Amino acid sequence: MRIKFQQNLDELKERLLVMAGLVEQAIQRATESYSTRDLGLCEMVLRSEPAINRMEREIDQAALDLLAMEQPMAVDLRFIIAVIRINADLERVGDQAVNIAQRVQDLGMFANVDVPVDIPKLASLSSAMVRKALQAFIEGDADMAQAVLALDDQVDEMNSAAFRSLSSLIGERPEMTPQALNALIISRNLERVGDHATNIAEDVIFWVRGADVRHGAIAEE
């Protein structure tokens, strides 16, 4: 019975990692479509959304079934709750990929001009946060998860800098407004990806240590 339960938990973890793979690919394609203006890539991102949504529901259902049938305690209970939360965050990362792809489609109408924000760099930073948070989840490593939290300030700072430099650009070159606005929105989408990675890292810590680190809870209490 216990062995079977452990198998079920491992299976749940595997499924969440498949979900994560789909979502990471979507973000990667969306940001590459921005750099290359490849509308075929945008299309692929939009087409992957139903599969991601379906997988989210299946994982949730599997987690609920485990809760209902096995009535797990302590660390196993926290693991399943963490899976439910991480699942929701991954789906929202997928939503950000869709938003980015839609903005790139929008940009198709306008000349491909240089704007003062390094979207590929911001994308690689926020994707790295997601990847590290998942690595921490795979290994059950709370210290690794903790390291993800520190990266979020960098992403936030890049996004704020993008806001400032794009505002100035619009003031000086109003004809570039559509491109600047779309870059601004994409920059915010990537900043939200970093927020979701932070949530995932916090869920890993909650699972492993049993402590709730959100909003600096440990430091405060």
DSSP symbol at 210:
-
User: What is the biggest distance separating any 2 CA atoms in the chain, rounded to whole angstroms?
Assistant: 69
User: 149 near 100, Cβ under 8 Å?
Assistant: no
User: 141 near 72, Cβ under 8 Å?
Assistant: no
Q: Measured between alpha carbons, how far is 120 from 201 in angstroms, rounded to an integer?
A: 23
Choose, by CB under 8 A, the member of 14, 139, 156, 212 that binds a copy of itself. Answer: 212
Identify which of 216, 56, 191 has the alpha carbon closest to the alpha carbon of residue 130. Answer: 191
Q: Does 217 bind a copy of itself (CB under 8 A)?
A: yes
How many chain residues touch a copy of itself (CB under 8 A)?
A: 36
Q: Measured between alpha carbons, how far is 168 from 179 in angstroms, rounded to an integer?
A: 13
Choose, by CB under 8 A, the member of 57, 112, 138, 153 that binds a copy of itself. Answer: 57
Q: Does 209 bind a copy of itself (CB under 8 A)?
A: no
Contact window for a copy of itself (CB under 8 A) among 5-13, 18-26, 128-136, 212-220: 212-220
Choose, by CB under 8 A, the member of 39, 67, 113, 161 that binds a copy of itself. Answer: 67
Choose, by CB under 8 A, the member of 56, 96, 186, 201 that binds a copy of itself. Answer: 56
Q: Does 54 bind a copy of itself (CB under 8 A)?
A: yes
Contact window for a copy of itself (CB under 8 A) among 4-12, 17-25, 35-43, 167-175: 167-175
Q: Does 165 bind a copy of itself (CB under 8 A)?
A: no
Q: Measured between alpha carbons, how far is 190 from 123 in angstroms, rounded to an integer?
A: 6
User: 58 near 14, Cβ under 8 Å?
Assistant: no
User: 127 near 28, Cβ under 8 Å?
Assistant: yes
Residues that bind a copy of itself (CB under 8 A): 50, 53-54, 56-57, 60-61, 64, 67-68, 71, 73-74, 77-78, 81, 84-85, 88, 163, 167, 170-171, 174-175, 177-178, 181, 184-185, 188, 212, 214-215, 217, 220
